[in-house]
Chain A
Amino acid sequence: AQSVTQLGSHVSVSEGALVLLRCNYSSSVPPYLFWYVQYPNQGLQLLLKYTTGATLVKGINGFEAEFKKSETSFHLTKPSAHMSDAAEYFCAVSDRRNYGGSQGNLIFGKGTKLSVKP
């Protein structure tokens, strides 16, 4: 079964500093991995995803993540934090019920709250 672990429930950085949010996954099949962001009182929005191909994935708002199979990781980074980045971030792995099939749901990590200090 697939699972996701996000290290650190709360990360605080200064404006302009590097953002690093950690995600490790467990999957019995080649994983499809996602990062979603949730701004206060809103639904989730996709930041980026990895399915196949290039392991460094670029997303919206200057975020990127690198898939490292050997480390079973998919950490999210951004070179320079903005105040508007303050939100809850969720890493997710697809629950591919039938490997090679089309069914599946998202298994989410517990989320990391990012705070950005002026």
Chain B
Amino acid sequence: DTAVSQTPKYLVTQMGNDKSIKCEQNLGHDTMYWYKQDSKKFLKIMFSYNNKELIINETVPNRFSPKSPDKAHLNLHINSLELGDSAVYFCASSQDWGGNYNEQFFGPGTRLTVL
């Protein structure tokens, strides 16, 4: 049973397209996150979401938007893709706000390549 799953695992697309990455967690957690890992392995928080409260990293372009249809899902939508969006995107979840002291559980990642 996968705790945090993401689809697709790989995503190759053209500049200017709009794409989505899905994330689901079956842990019953309250909080979900999206991270971006660049080619140098640097991890940056993009969004965190808990019970309709969304915290946005101010450096994230507004072309990126998370959408949560229910507590178990936090999908990432990206409009007008750019070359610089190429990265690995990780979804994560935790019980309550994970930055406090709770462990975050990570998905396997989605490798996005923009051509």
Q: A residues bordering B, Cβ < 8 Å?
A: 32, 34, 36, 38, 41-46, 49, 51, 88, 90, 94-97, 101-108, 110-111, 113
Contact = CB atoms under 8 A, between A and B. Distances in A.
Interface in B94-111: 96-101, 103-104, 106-109
Given A43-B106, A43-B108, A44-B106, A104 B98 contact: yes
Interface string B10-40: 0000000000000000000000010000001
Contacts of A101: 100
A33 B42 CA distance: 17
Nearest to A2: B99
B43 interface: yes
A45 B92 CA distance: 11
B97 A42 contact: no
A110 B103 contact: no
Interface size class of B (residues with CB under 8 A): 20 to 34
A105 B100 CA distance: 7
B52 interface: no
Contacts of A104: 97-100
A105 B99 contact: yes
A46 B95 CA distance: 14
A106 B104 contact: yes
Contacts of B92: 43-44
A44 B41 contact: no
B90 A43 contact: yes
A104 B4 CA distance: 20
Given A43-B90, A105-B45, A105-B55, A96 B108 contact: no
A27 to B, nearest CB: 12
